[in-house]
Amino acid sequence: MKQFLIIFLSASLLAMTSACKKISTPNEESRELFGSWEYEYDSGGFSGAGGSTKYNSDSWIEFTERGFFKVYEGSNKESQKKYRIKMKESIYSSEEKPAIVYLNGDYEMFTIEDDKLYISDNHYDGFTYTFSRK
């Protein structure tokens, strides 16, 4: 029983310390992603006019330094998933740009200009989502 308790406490301590670790960023500009962002609008898609239902007018998102991406509708948290920031090749310029990479391998490119965050699907006929810093 004593050995089981020691193993259990060791595993718990390991899990807690790894969960508190900040994610690494490929460059200083990527650190600007951390924080809360209010959804404004989307564009793109097959027609170019937007129309995605991924977010609504009451949506906002949060990227934590601990690697959690959270989606809210008003004050209700709708979803949460782990992410990291890596450099990926953009289909728009063939250059490597910062991307939000999720644990399942999906990713979205992002750009920050002033207090605006642009998150783009990295495929043709994809959407671009515009957010303002909260």
pTM of the model: 0.81
Question: Side-chain half-sphere of 125: how many Cα atoms within 13 Å?
Answer: 2
pLDDT digits (tens, 9 = 90+) for 74-99: 999 999 999 999 999 998 788 999 99
pLDDT value at residue 82: 97
The one-letter amino acid at 110: F
Look up the CATH number of the domain holding residue 119. 2.40.128
Strand partners of residue 33: none
Q: Write the pLDDT tens digit of every residue in 41-82.
A: 999 987 766 788 899 999 999 999 999 999 999 999 999 999
Q: Which domain holds residue 84?
A: 22-133
> Considering its fold, how many domains does the chain have in total?
1
Residue 82 lies in a domain: yes
pLDDT at 16: 46
